[in-house]
């Protein structure tokens, strides 16, 4: 069964436990699936226009998976099938906009191009995330809290897998502490570990991490810097 067929089936029944199971199966097993931009657009469209609120709230979770797998969003692929005034397109736009705001709040990396896309939507809809819920074209209201919670359902197995230590190895070792202490101040070390563990940042922490800590990490993983370090150590 292909992704399109599975996803359409997932949103076909009102409040059906089977529909949620299908969507959640995709979320849990997403690392094994190779998706194209068109398939991602179909999935997002199906979620945004489902008549089951429990399915709709998985929308940010799918976006987070796209980010984890390095899949950028393509606005042409997302919107080309609809007129600008289409209710279905408006549902997509609203959920993209509020998802971007939730990523900022939780510190989860958004998929590439999402922020560019929502920059054009903000004048149209304003700050949707400031309210407790958003209303879709069908009249159904979706809780912003439920949307945010969808990002917490699968974090350990999906969104943050690249932060998990190898199996059988403790989350923190004495060596890790020693090396982090050599490279980072106590506050910077704290943020490194929070980011690794998928914990949410405050606005101040997020800005400091982006401005200082992330740049240090980029330098550490630089092949040129690593090569230089190895050469000097064994010279």
Task: Please state the pTM of the whole predicted model.
Answer: 0.56
Over residues 79-110, the pLDDT tens digits come to 888 898 899 999 999 999 999 988 888 888 88
Quote the pLDDT of residue 88: 92
- Contacting residues for 100 by C-beta, under 8 A, at least 6 apart: 110, 114, 115, 118
Residue-wise pLDDT tens digits, 125-144:
877 767 788 889 888 998 88
Rounded-to-integer distance, Cα 159 and Cα 84, Å: 32
pLDDT number for residue 94: 93
pLDDT value of residue 33: 57
Which regions of the chain are under pLDDT 70? 1-35, 129, 153-175, 230, 233-235
- H or E stretch covering 143: strand 141-143
pLDDT of residue 86: 92
User: What is the phi/psi pair of residue 170, to 5°?
Assistant: -60, 150
Q: How many CA atoms lie within 13 A of 219 on its CB side?
A: 8
pLDDT of residue 31: 52
**Residue 209: DSSP 8-state:** I
pLDDT at 93: 93
Q: Which residues contact 188 (CB under 8 A, 6 or more apart)?
A: 212, 213, 216
Per-residue confidence (pLDDT) for residue 167, from 0 to 100: 42
């Amino acid at each position: 069964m292909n992704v399109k067929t599975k996803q359409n089936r997932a949103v076909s029944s009102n409040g059906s436990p089977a529909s949620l199971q299908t969507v959640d199966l995709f979320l849990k097993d997403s690392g094994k699936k190779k998706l194209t931009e068109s398939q991602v657009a179909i999935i997002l469209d199906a979620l945004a226009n489902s008549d089951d609120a429990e399915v709709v709230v998985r929308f940010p979770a799918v976006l987070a998976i796209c980010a984890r797998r390095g899949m950028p969003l393509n606005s042409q692929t997302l919107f080309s099938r609809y007129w600008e005034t289409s209710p279905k397109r408006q549902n997509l736009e609203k959920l993209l906009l509020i998802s971007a705001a939730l990523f900022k709040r939780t510190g989860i990396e958004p998929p590439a191009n999402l922020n560019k896309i929502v920059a054009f939507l903000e004048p149209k809809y304003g700050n949707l995330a400031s309210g407790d819920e958003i209303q879709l074209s069908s009249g159904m209201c979706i809780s912003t809290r439920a949307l945010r919670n969808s990002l917490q359902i699968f974090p350990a197995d999906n969104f943050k897998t690249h932060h998990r230590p190898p199996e059988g190895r403790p989350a923190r070792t004495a060596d890790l502490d020693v090396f982090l202490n050599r490279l980072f101040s106590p506050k910077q070390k704290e943020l490194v570990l929070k980011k690794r563990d998928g914990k949410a940042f405050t606005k101040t922490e997020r800005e400091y991490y982006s401005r200082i800590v992330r740049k240090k990490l980029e330098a550490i993983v630089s092949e040129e810097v690593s090569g230089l370090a190895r050469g000097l150590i064994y010279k």
